[in-house]
A and B are shown apart, each in its own frame.
Chain A
Amino acid sequence: VVDDGGAPPEVPPATARISFARIESISLGEPFPDAIRQSLAPGTSYWRYTRLWRMGQWQELDGLLYGRIGFEAPAMTEVWNDEIADFEEAAFHGGTTAPFVIDLSDQRVAFQVRPGVIRPTTFTGALQALLNTTSVLARWRVHPDTYEVDWPTWLRSVDRVLQLRIRVERPNPHYSTVSGSRL
């Protein structure tokens, strides 16, 4: 730690990334606002892959539903034990939550993305599973709010490209051989 003798260093404000999705009812029945209120049942849980997802409490204000889903997953860590003077394994429950806001007027939801842990499709899959767990009659589909656009159009729409991830694959094992070229 360098003591500059002055004011404490400025801490940048904490930021979070949010994304958007659409909630679609695929069953007949009550209108969206009533149906979604019934399907958002706090305490609902659903195992998805190795994570136990849970629906937290929610509240409604001005046509918006504020809530939180999250998961817990069993994990192992190594802690120091003074008695045996060695490290030992200990189990614990890790987990992360994703707060969300649902707009009852247009069936869209904004949610927090946790890079590397809760991606947009992770959230939409978990929310869909939790909504469908509540009742066998009310069926829901939650999908990321994307729109179709080709690469040149998207490029023109952005001011600058911040990151580009390209995966180039070898077509087949004999791509460069004569026989491969003839095919």
Chain B
Amino acid sequence: LIEGTNARMADLILTAEQNGEGIDVDDTFVVEALAHADQYGKWSAEGERAGYISRWRSDETASAAERTIEADPETQEARFEGMARELRKASTPRCGVISPLGARPARGWLAPDLRPSHVPVVGLLRRTRRRVLAGVAAIEEDVRANAVTILLPEAGVGVALSAVVLAAMAVFTTFFDDYYRRVLETASGSVRAALLPYR
């Protein structure tokens, strides 16, 4: 379709009959278009589930729930009570599958042995990066959830370290005090003799 028309891209919008069966996603044309868009392009879909509208986007591999509720006929604004009802009713299921059309294939225009996923080091680096990012995200969530609990001991450790440093500075200041030096000189003859008593 694209090569024949010399177009950079093509946007296809398939809309179902209002009371029909819906778009046939197993149709050859749709299957081929989605297979191409999976590598070169994107797609979004709108579906009906138990009377509600559900949307899905390939670039986010995510679904967002939408509801149609009664509106004010004059202002066309959604009624607050309807929004409150749907807000309390709506729940968002969580699942961890990410890739559209199952596993996303590598870019087709690269020879198999040149695809990044086929280079062992690149694959290892990618997997490591994903794990590190997942770990950081998990830690970030935990830290945020227990922020005050973490902050208090952290501040305590900071105060304790500051106290040790200040005490050490006080000791050194005392050593360099003029009166202390005079005492040392009187008792030992010199500061050097006091510092090195066995020489």
Contact = CB atoms under 8 A, between A and B. Distances in A.
B46 A161 contact: yes
B63 A16 contact: no
A158 B30 CA distance: 17
Interface stretch (B82-90, B119-127, B129-137, B166-174): B82-90
Contacts of A18: 66-69, 78, 82-83, 86
Given A14-B73, A110-B83, A150 B100 contact: yes
Contact of B9 (A11, A163, A168): A168
B74 to A, nearest CB: 8
Contact of B71 (A14, A158, A176): A14
A146 B94 CA distance: 9
Contacts, number: 241
Interface residues of B, number: 85
A171 B84 contact: no
B71 A120 contact: no
Contact of A145 (B1, B15, B92): B92
A165 B83 contact: no
A164 B45 contact: yes
B68 to A, nearest CB: 5
Contact of B16 (A108, A161, A166): A161
A167 B57 CA distance: 12
Given A110-B84, A166-B41, A167-B9, A16 B71 contact: yes
A166 B40 contact: no
A169 B40 contact: yes
B77 A64 contact: no
Interface residues on A, range: 35 or more
A100 B22 contact: no
A49 interface: no
Interface in A128-154: 144-154
B117 interface: no
B102 interface: yes
A151 B9 contact: no
Contact of A112 (B2, B13, B78): B78
A180 interface: yes
Contacts of A111: 83
A171 B69 contact: no
Nearest to B30: A164
Contact of A14 (B12, B67, B72): B72
Interface string A86-104: 0000000000010111010
A170 B2 contact: yes
Contacts of B13: 163-165
Most A CB contacts (10 A, CB to CB) among B16, B37, B87, B92 go to B87
Contact of A167 (B43, B70, B76, B108): B43
Contact of A160 (B9, B47, B68): B47
The 5 closest A-B pairs by CB, nearest first: A160-B22, A158-B47, A16-B71, A16-B78, A146-B62
Interface of A: 11, 13-20, 26, 28, 64, 66, 97, 99-101, 103, 108-113, 120, 144-155, 157-172, 175-176, 180-183
30 contacts: A13-B70, A14-B70, A14-B72, A15-B68, A15-B69, A20-B64, A20-B92, A99-B80, A101-B83, A147-B93, A147-B94, A148-B61, A148-B94, A150-B102, A154-B47, A154-B54, A158-B47, A159-B48, A160-B48, A162-B47, A163-B23, A164-B43, A165-B13, A165-B44, A166-B34, A166-B37, A167-B9, A168-B2, A170-B40, A183-B111
